[in-house]
Amino acid sequence: MTERIYNFSAGPAALPLPVLEQAQQDLISLGDTGIGVLEHSHRSKAFLAVYEEAEALVRELASIPENYKVLFLQGGASSQFFMIPMNLLKKDQTADYLVTGSWSKKAVKEAKSFGNVNVACSSEDKNFSYIPEEVSLSENPAYVHFTSNNTIYGTEFATEPTVPAGVPLICDASSDIFSRPLDISKYGIVYAGAQKNLGPSGVTLVIIRDDLIEQGPTDIPTMLQYRTHSEAGSMYNTPPTFGIYVLGQVLRWLKEQGGLAAIQEKNQSKAGKLYGYLEQSKLFNATAAKQDRSLMNVTFVTGDADLDAQFIAKATAAGLDGLKGHRSVGGMRASIYNAFPEAGVDKLLEMMNQFEQEHAS
Ligand SMILES: *Cc1c(COP(=O)(O)O)cnc(C)c1O
């Protein structure tokens, strides 16, 4: 079998090897059922056990209060960009958006079809390289939406923004969900496409407070109402069974790692090594403002596009894949989500050091 290499991809991204090995077995026969996980009816006893375990692990790891539902939906985080305003924003209302990257901008674009949008802050003036400190909320917003980690730009909110009592806070946590502890009770909705920190693409985790589920109109398509999925336990139609299965396995692995506080320490250690190196490097520079740097996506440049390309080529040849930065930032991006091993970070540091010695003048 081909040896596995270090995969710095921003998403879909590296998964824990024990999860892949378990999935390999369960593809042929889930437990002792004699039927593979891809082939089980979503209503079968065996799959219901998979589903219930995945949901229970989401609840346990994030200490989710009773008055929240855990939904497994399809259409990616991008479908939440419209599903949220479709259900929660009326034509004459205003929703506030903190614009800290292209994903936030896409969310704004969708919301504008349903009501008014107030851009409460934006860091676009400096190519989204920081998180604004000043946020100006509107008078009485239907909700406040933010993106906790900006995958492309390598910035992350240190803590959630504060909102007035009674205003639902909604978070696109696609690229940092469960990378650190979070207090769900501060949120109305937290959602995430699974393919960065939770599992494969094709399943979107939505954690939603009960009172928001019932607010939506009933004359929009059934599949686009939160109540439909809440009432049917995400089984109104066939749910993404394999995605839910893998997500459950990933959360099992995460629990074995010690849960959210323990994984946060590991993430701090991994990112800390890279930022520490970048701080003193004479060749490489981090692109994100120091106080806003992401633990998940570390973005850096040499300042010379040709050198960047040379470095990426060298790293790729050495088995470090996926380091090319997003085109809107350039340079390099090391995506080091929960499942990315610290040994891969060490290998990258070794490469950077070596490259710096060869090229620093
Ligand atoms: C990747 C990403 C998305 C898009 O997710 P899809 O599941 O592909 O729709 C949205 N928001 C953030 C922050 C992301 O990193």
Q: 361 pLDDT band (50/70/90 cuts)? A: low
Atom 5 of ligand 1 has which residue's CA nearest to it? 77
What is the per-residue pLDDT across 173-209, written as a single tens digit (0 to 9) for each? 999 999 999 999 999 999 999 999 999 999 999 999 9
Residues of the chain with pLDDT > 70: what percent?
100
Whether 69 is a known active-site residue: answer no
Which domains are present in the chain?
A: 17-256 (3.40.640.10), 259-358 (3.90.1150.10)
Ligand 1 atom closest to the CA of 194, numbered from 1: 7
**pLDDT exceeds cutoff 70 at 53:** yes
- Rounded-to-integer distance, Cα 297 and Cα 309, Å: 19
Whether 172 is a known active-site residue: answer yes
Sheet holding 332-335, edge to edge: 285-286, 297-301, 332-335
DSSP string covering 106-152, please?
HHHHHHTTTSEEEEEEE-GGGTT-S--S-----SS-S-EEEESEETT
Task: Please check if 253 is assigned to a binding site.
Answer: no
Residues counted in the chain: 361
- Rounded-to-integer distance, Cα 332 and Cα 284, Å: 10
- Rounded-to-integer distance, Cα 107 and Cα 65, Å: 27
Whether 103 is a known active-site residue: answer yes
- The whole-number average pLDDT for the span 304-308 is 97
Task: Please check if 289 is assigned to a binding site.
Answer: no
pLDDT, position 103: 98
| Catalytic residue chosen out of the listed positions 26, 96, 103, 266 | 103
| Catalytic residue chosen out of the listed positions 26, 96, 172, 176 | 172
DSSP-H helix ranges across the chain? 17-28, 45-61, 76-88, 102-111, 210-213, 226-231, 241-256, 259-280, 305-317, 342-359
What is the per-residue pLDDT across 17-45, written as a single tens digit (0 to 9) for each? 999 999 999 999 999 999 999 999 999 99
- The whole-number average pLDDT for the span 269-295 is 98
pLDDT, position 233: 95
**pLDDT exceeds cutoff 70 at 320:** yes
Task: Please check if 87 is assigned to a binding site.
Answer: no
Q: In Å, what is the CA distance from 84 to each residue of 71, 219, 304, 333?
A: 14, 15, 41, 30
Matching residue, tokens 């490489």:
284
- pTM over the 0.85 mark: yes
Q: Is 242 helix (H, G, I), strand (E, B) or coil?
A: helix
What is the per-residue pLDDT across 212-271, written as a single tens digit (0 to 9) for each? 999 999 999 999 999 999 999 999 999 999 999 999 999 999 999 999 999 999 999 999
- Decide: 11 in ligand 1 pocket, CB within 6 A: yes
Q: In Å, what is the CA distance from 130 to each residue of 205, 222, 273, 288, 338?
A: 27, 39, 20, 6, 23
As a whole number, the mean pLDDT across the chain is 97
Q: 360 pLDDT band (50/70/90 cuts)? A: confident
- Rounded-to-integer distance, Cα 358 and Cα 361, Å: 9
Distance 176 CA to ligand 1 centre (A): 11
- Decide: 294 in ligand 1 pocket, CB within 6 A: no
- The whole-number average pLDDT for the span 80-86 is 98
Peptide bond just before 12 cis, omega within 30 deg: yes
Atom 2 of ligand 1 has which residue's CA nearest to it? 174
pLDDT, position 1: 75
**pLDDT exceeds cutoff 90 at 89:** yes
Ligand 1 atom closest to the CA of 175, numbered from 1: 15
What is the per-residue pLDDT across 112-156, written as a single tens digit (0 to 9) for each? 999 999 999 999 999 999 999 999 999 999 999 999 999 999 999
What lies within 8 Å, CB to CB, of 133 at 6+ separation is none
- The whole-number average pLDDT for the span 87-100 is 98
What lies within 8 Å, CB to CB, of 289 at 6+ separation is 129, 130, 131, 155
